[in-house]
Amino acid sequence: EAQVTQNPRYLITVTGKKLTVTCSQNMNHEYMSWYRQDPGLGLRQIYYSMNVEVTDKGDVPEGYKVSRKEKRNFPLILESPSPNQTSLYFCASRHRGASYEQYFGPGTRLTVT
Provide the binding-site residues for other proteins, judged by CB under 8 A: 4, 31, 33, 35, 40-45, 48, 50, 58-59, 90, 92, 94, 96, 99-107
Query: Is 86 exposed, middle or buried (CB count within 10 Å of its CB: 0-12, 13-18, 19+)?
Result: middle
Least distance from other proteins to the Cβ atom of residue 74, Å: 13
No. of H helices and E strands in the chain?
0, 11
Query: Is 76 exposed, middle or buried (CB count within 10 Å of its CB: 0-12, 13-18, 19+)?
Result: buried
State which residue, 45 or 86, has the beta carbon closest to other proteins. Answer: 45
Least distance from other proteins to the Cβ atom of residue 98, Å: 10
State which residue, 69 or 96, has the beta carbon closest to other proteins. Answer: 96
Do 16 and 40 contact (CB within 8 A), yes or no?
Answer: no
State which residue, 3 or 80, has the beta carbon closest to other proteins. Answer: 3
Least distance from other proteins to the Cβ atom of residue 85, Å: 19
State which residue, 16 or 106, has the beta carbon closest to other proteins. Answer: 106
- Strand 103-104 and strand 42-51: the pairing is unpaired
